[in-house]
Homo-oligomer: A and B are copies of this chain.
Amino acid sequence: MGSSFGQLFRVSTFGESHGGGVGVIVDGCPPRLALDPEAIQAELDRRKPGQSRITTPRKEADRVEILSGLLDGVTLGTPIAMVVRNKDQRPGDYSEMAVAFRPSHADATYQAKYGIQARSGGGRASARETIGRVAAGAIAKQLLARAHGTEVIAWVKRIHTIEASSIDPASVTLEAVEGNIVRCPDAACAERMIERIEAIGREGDSCGGVIECVVRHAPVGLGMPVFDKLEADLAKAVMSLPATKGFEIGSGFAGTLLRGSQHNDAFLATEDGSLRTATNNSGGIQGGISNGETIVLRVAFKPTATIRKAQQTVTSSGEATVLEAKGRHDPCVLPRAVPMVEAMVALVLADHLLRQQAQCSLW
């Protein structure tokens, strides 16, 4: 248990890094939604390894096959199963790691929990597990777009100490995000980020950073107090991604330095009778429910745990040793994590759209 997410738009992922393949079942998708399989593949391509010089050179085509749930490209309302076969495996790369627990990786805890683990490729703790999430998220995005014109866009806001502070959540475009390999819509900043990643990677080290994500044109009213508040489910969603260390909604930690009179978002009367706010410290959510303003959240990603630099560790038999990882790993996970964040956010929104439809649309 633990490989399913969502109450009504429910995804269940499977698959180890090495083995037959990885994939996902999406259950609960509304029927009669025309799906674009190329849009699903396009999201997987944004996620796949080997896409640029700042990602792992591990090559996987990651072609998705849709096994069920569609008729002539239209959803049937039945489970949509998608599979990506595993291909480029070099188990030999992992031979050392099979005996030495990698620091800050999942080796030791998986062993402690299950008493067994996939020895090569990181098993279920590999970033490869996120393929199912991204494929499912691509369906969620198409559902949200059709239902309300809702769009979900994420980007790299900070790499190590380099922060892009001039990006406007209200107007940033997917094209700008995809305009460079680090996925930061501030082109000048992106250049410096790429250099930093390359420099740190050359040293056999790694770095982390912050991804920002917005949801524009979200329906008003999504979120289920008191436990399934929208920000609570968003927090869980992104904190379930590998390497995440923190989550913020709206003003986040910085907001705690303000006074109430500074932090509160004044309501504005509008001509069409809808309610708007003068500021958006709430990040589009009040009382756990979306208010129609742009949803804004940020996610902290730690530096990649697997590095080539020598590290002190312990073998599975309890002896001290030094590990110098030899696999092909990302010096920085953030460029590939951008579509993962979008996917998780889209899954939460799609799920809450159906939940709201269930409870509050009968009359």
- Segment with Cβ contacts to B, from A43-51, A184-192, A237-245: A237-245
Q: Chain B residues near A217: list those with CB within 8 A.
A: none
Contact A3 B27 (CB under 8 A): yes
A134 to chain B, nearest CB (A): 13
Contact B252 A31 (CB under 8 A): no
Q: Chain B residues near A39: list those with CB within 8 A.
A: none
Question: What separation, in Å, do the CA atoms of A14 and B112 have in the docked complex?
Answer: 32
Contact A256 B3 (CB under 8 A): no
Asked if A200 meets B20 with Cβ closer than 8 Å, knowing A31-B115, A265-B103, A314-B268, the reply is no
* Set B31, B311, B354, B355: member contacting A114, Cβ < 8 A: B31
Question: What separation, in Å, do the CA atoms of A245 and B229 have in the docked complex?
Answer: 12
Instruction: Name which of A12, A83, A319 has the most chain B CB atoms within 10 A of its CB.
Output: A12
A339 part of interface (Cβ distance < 8 Å): no
Interface residues on A, range: 35 or more
Q: Chain B residues near A207: list those with CB within 8 A.
A: 259-260
A341 to chain B, nearest CB (A): 13
A336 part of interface (Cβ distance < 8 Å): no
Contact A232 B226 (CB under 8 A): no
Contact A1 B76 (CB under 8 A): no
Asked if A208 meets B27 with Cβ closer than 8 Å, knowing A22-B68, A235-B239, the reply is no
Contact A359 B30 (CB under 8 A): yes
Asked if A10 meets B20 with Cβ closer than 8 Å, knowing A261-B205, A269-B318, the reply is no
Closest to A104 in B: B264
| Per-residue B-contact encoding for A68-89, CB less than 8 Å = 1, 0 else | 1111001111111101000000
A275 to chain B, nearest CB (A): 6
Contact B220 A112 (CB under 8 A): yes
Question: What separation, in Å, do the CA atoms of A221 and B352 have in the docked complex?
Answer: 22
* Set B5, B236, B287, B320: member contacting A110, Cβ < 8 A: B287
Q: Chain B residues near A268: list those with CB within 8 A.
A: 312, 314, 320
Contact B12 A256 (CB under 8 A): no
A101 part of interface (Cβ distance < 8 Å): yes
Asked if A246 meets B245 with Cβ closer than 8 Å, knowing A14-B25, A79-B3, A227-B4, the reply is no
Asked if A221 meets B289 with Cβ closer than 8 Å, knowing A71-B118, A208-B256, A259-B207, the reply is no
A294 part of interface (Cβ distance < 8 Å): no
Q: Chain B residues near A260: list those with CB within 8 A.
A: 104, 205-207, 303-307, 309
Contact A363 B269 (CB under 8 A): no
A195 part of interface (Cβ distance < 8 Å): no
A15 part of interface (Cβ distance < 8 Å): yes
Question: What separation, in Å, do the CA atoms of A240 and B224 have in the docked complex?
Answer: 10
Contact A83 B106 (CB under 8 A): no
A108 part of interface (Cβ distance < 8 Å): yes
| Per-residue B-contact encoding for A90-111, CB less than 8 Å = 1, 0 else | 0000000000010111111110
Contact B312 A78 (CB under 8 A): no
Contact A250 B245 (CB under 8 A): yes
Known: A12-B27, A206-B261, A239-B247. 8 other contacts (CB 8 A): A2-B226, A13-B79, A20-B81, A76-B117, A109-B221, A161-B257, A207-B260, A246-B248
